Amino acid sequence: MKSLNILIVEDEILIAETIKYYLEERDHNVLSIAISYDEAVQAYRLRCPDLVLLDIRLYGQKSGIDFANFLSEQISNPPYVYLTSQYDQRILAEALKTNPSGYLTKPIQKETLWTTVEAAYHLHEASQVVQPVITLQDGKNNYNINANEILYIQSDHVYVTIITIRDQKITVRKSLQQLLSLCESEFLFICHRSYIINLKHIQEWNNDEIILKNNFAVPISRSKRDEFLLKLKSFNP
């Protein structure tokens, strides 16, 4: 896990300092401790944290929920985890409406803190990954297809048929190379002059064919075997 730059927004200084100590023990960096909404906004704009630990109750009129709403309005908003000993169900319901990345109750246990912070950051990072999309037209309709959902593509003369994991079939007038050039997906691989497969959806393989997760068998060209095996070793599904 990489070292994260973390902003703590907590008006109880002793608790904030304890959390800071726990985070630094895990090799994370605490950018600042803010006790109010205004201090939190200033610290955010000054330091751009990777993640925010945010108490629901803060010093002053505005709460942690107000700061969460501020974060949601930013172009590049970091994940945030609520810290609270608040048991008012109405306030908790309002807090959860802001879609936090996690929730910790006081007193904070350091192992739980470490796990929650790192899980929240990983989930946020995963959500920011742009899924490769191919836009196609079959002469009548337009389609936006998530390339990761393509199971295989089969060529038939001047046409190709795309089959997805949802059993969707779309036929368009293009070559395999033309279709592959439309999407920069590391998972799509031409294994034969008539087929592109998605490496993410392979069930098994041998020297002659690849069995996909729907049990469909796709042939492997002799000239593609070594490249196919190298692809399998290098990619991370």
Residues of the chain with pLDDT under 50: none
Reduced to 3 states (helix: H, G, I; strand: E, B; else coil), residue 152 is strand
* pLDDT of the residue at 128: 64
Q: Looking at residue 86, what is its pLDDT?
A: 62
Q: What is the pLDDT of residue 108?
A: 92
Which fold would CATH assign to domain 5-127? Rossmann fold (3.40.50)
Q: Give the residue from 103, 127, 117, 126 showing the smallest Cα distance to 50.
A: 117
Confidence (pLDDT) at 132:
76
Domain boundaries, the chain: 5-127, 133-234
153: closest CA among 168, 132, 143, 131? Answer: 168
| 108-135 pLDDT per residue, tens | 999 999 999 999 998 888 776 666 788 8
As a dihedral over the C-alpha atoms of residue 29, residue 236, residue 112, residue 40, rounded to 10 degrees, the angle is 40
Q: In the structure encoding, which two tokens stand for residue 109, read together?
A: 């246990």
| 38-77: b (≥16 Cβ within 10 Å) or e | ebbbebbeeeebbbbbbbbbbeeebbbbebbeebeeeeee
Strands (E), 40-141: 51-55, 80-84, 102-105, 133-137
CA separation, residue 29 to residues 8, 171, 218 (Å): 11, 52, 50
Just give the CATH number of 133-234: 2.40.50.1020
Tell me if the pTM is above 0.75: no
pLDDT at 153: 94
The tally of CA atoms less than 13 A away on the side-chain side of residue 61 is 0
Structure confidence at residue 75 (pLDDT): 62
Residue type, 29: N
135 and 144 Cβ atoms separated by less than 8 Å: yes
